[in-house]
Amino acid sequence: MNSSSDRAVAHAANLAEDDRRRILDVYGYLRSTSDADAVADVLPPGAPVEMVKAVTRVCTVDHAGCLVFSPDPSGVRDYLREQGLDARGPVPGSVVRDRLAARYGVPEEQVRSGRLDVRVVHARLPDGDQRGLEVLCLAPDDALDAPAVHDERLRQHENHVAVRPTDPGQLEDLRATLSCTGGPLPDGGGYNPAHGEDGATVLRFRAPGRTASGWPRHLEVIAPGRHTDVLLRHLAATGADGGPGEEADRRLLRGLTGAWGTQALRVMAELDIPDHLADRPLTCAELADLTGVDADRLYRLLRALCHPWIGALTPSGDAFALTRLGWRLTRRAPNSMRHLALLYGDLFYQSFTALTDGVRTDTQPFTAVFGQPPFEYLRDHPYQRRVFTRAMAEGAAFFTDVATAVDLSDVRTVADIGGGNGELIAHLCAANPHLECALLERPEVIGAARDNLRAHGQLERCTLLSGSFTDGRDLPAGADVYVVARILHDWDDQTCASILRAVRHAATAASTLLIIERPLPDDPEDPSVSCLWDLNMLVNNVGGRERTREQYGRLLREAGFELVGERPLRLDMAVLIARAA
């Protein structure tokens, strides 16, 4: 197609360059992607391989779709024909129209008046390929205001992959397969009378995050004809028009009652129920005797702890037994989380009651609740300080992964700046017998580090230094590797810059810096837990925050480092690798 013809068609269709690109992106995707890869793209990350096979065994990819803003759907059809596609339509897009109306709160009278008019153009690929494009066309001056149009262009909510069962009678089996654990979430659907001779039933699914192409993970299942029973079961899980249904309500209730589960787990730990059950299941009466509480009240707690939303206990005949999750709350578990349960259910539970003030104003929630900033409060309250210190150690289970993630075979010396109780360098020493290590910490923490390193049998290989993170004179000079683990998220940008400049002052041109943090993803819908931890920093820290990789990169550049790599760890943690610029 020559450039003058391209411009003429684009003008007739009133298509923006961005919309032409969207269409061509979908076209290129279909030409280069197999059915199995297309289905895997829109299922949740880590979805069972068997689910992908089950879908592709009974379905073929029907189309991939996108939304463009054009007042001339016929011109869009002509543009697709110029690309060599067999384009048909336009036809009304009532299902998409209703979904847009629900998403942006378009008044019903505007929908009824036809102001939100979605038209759909279908186009089949050339060379006998049965797959095609579905281009949804909406006039930019229609019922959606400018912010809504901007949101659609930015987020591409309507991009999707659609599959068609080879046998429409298998639609219910397919719906059930996709609804299994690890599958996508139901996301509405409907009957589209304009889709084919007999119309089509459309079931829509969504999954968190984005594909490699930057599209949302949206899957549509299209079956010719009316399948009312299947559609109603699907809508019961999501609600008509994609709104909240029973399953969505249950997910919301799970979030709203999360505080109850937090308290149930805290009380479970405080009563030592996990340790009482560590060797064998016990009846409620036996546990009541051991804990000294009323059996009826205890039974209500035990029953709640069995609920799948908590999952710490499971019935065992007339007794109760620990689940694998519940075992993690015992003192003897290798990666016990007992003190995390006590911290999150007590000190941090109370501080979160001031979250509203922390968001509305510059109030620091922890200080507002307890009358002192966090570290001052912990200094003056020994019991809470012990719980906090042990909880932080329990929350560092990923430290065991660092020695595997980072090759230290050619490294002679490691300096851990703000190394806490020494747990990380104890693991590094155990995995690398040739290492000599140094640990810099506050005076009140050095004793805990000495005791822990002695318990690990690594004290003789470690030099313990008392001093300030931000004072270059306190840092050991000339180490091959410097480690700053879970430190930067405690501080504002100015203090982080001071810490990193101090490290750069102590380091040589050949030194490597390892930063261990939980980076924020660029996509707010990413399932990483780091956004929740960022909220925790807002509540329980003064000036601290989680940061994106770009933000860490900027801090490093300002301090004379360059971010050169990254290694993933458990629980969305990562090792960011930097070297002198």
Catalytic residues: 489
- Enclosing H/E stretch for 354: none
Give the count of alpha carbons within 13 A of 184, CB side only: 30
Instruction: Please answer whether residues 349 and 540 qualify as being in contact, where contact means their C-beta atoms are separated by less than 8 angstroms.
Output: no
DSSP string, 379-413: HH-HHHHHHHHHHHHHTTTTHHHHHHHS--TT--E
Q: Indicate if the alpha-carbon torsion angle 253, 256, 260, 262 is positive or negative.
A: positive
Output the DSSP codes for 487-550. -GGGS-HHHHHHHHHHHHHHS-TT-EEEEEE-PBPSSTTS--THHHHHHHHHHHSSS----BHH
- Strands 512-517 and 481-485: what pairing? parallel
Q: Is the peptide bond before 216 cis (omega within 30 degrees of 0)?
A: no
User: Are residues 487 and 417 in contact, defined by beta-carbon separation less than 8 angstroms?
Assistant: yes
What SS3 class is residue 438? Answer: strand
Distance CA 195, CA 48 (A): 31
Per-residue burial over 119-140, b if 16 or more Cβ lie within 10 Å, else e, is: bbbbbbbeeeeebbbbbbbbbb
Q: How many CA atoms lie within 13 A of 386 on its CB side?
A: 2
DSSP alpha helix (H) spans, 182-323: 228-238, 246-256, 258-270, 273-276, 284-291, 295-306
* Biggest CA pair distance of the chain: 88
